[in-house]
Amino acid sequence: MESSLRTVEIKAFVPAQNYKLSQTFYQDMGFEMKSEGGGVSYFAFGNCSFLLQDFCVKELAENLMMHLLVEDVQAWYDRLKEVKLAEKYKIKITEPEEQPWKMIDFIVIDPSGVLWRIGQNI
């Protein structure tokens, strides 16, 4: 491979039905909003990041799945429960469970319908 074809990272554009609400949601979830402009917010936590866009097509949002691999899934679950994310945003959070693909994960569905799987390898 040519040295000029090195990659830096890949990020998904996550749709937001209510942009301001989604910005607050992701900050409450633990992500830091690093920048915002032109209808796009750059969110990061550690070395993981994504772009929140002020644009939403229902069919896209409700069929988009994000996967966040973490070291301690129980700590993430406990934190989201502690900040009452589900109650504050009227969203769904499932209990962590062991999956056949050798992970323990749980599901968070954001205010726009985007499904997040937060998991750890076992």
3-class DSSP string for 69-108: ECCCHHHHHHHHHHCCHHHHHCCCECCCEEECCCEEEEEE
pLDDT at site 1: 53
pLDDT at site 4: 87
- CB-facing half-sphere around the CA of 103: CA atoms within 13 A: 14
Q: What percent of the chain has pLDDT over 90?
A: 93
- Mind listing the pLDDT tens digit for each residue in 95-112? 999 999 999 999 999 999
Q: Which domains, from first to last, does the chain contain?
A: 9-54+61-121 (3.10.180.10)
Q: Name the pLDDT band for 3 (thresholds 50, 70, 90).
A: confident
pLDDT at site 88: 98
**To which residue do tokens 């949601």 refer?**
25
pLDDT at site 64: 98
Query: Residue 68: is its pLDDT beyond 90?
Result: yes
Indicate the SS3 state at residue 61.
helix
The pTM of the full predicted model, rounded to 2 decimals, is 0.93
- Mind listing the pLDDT tens digit for each residue in 69-78? 999 999 999 9
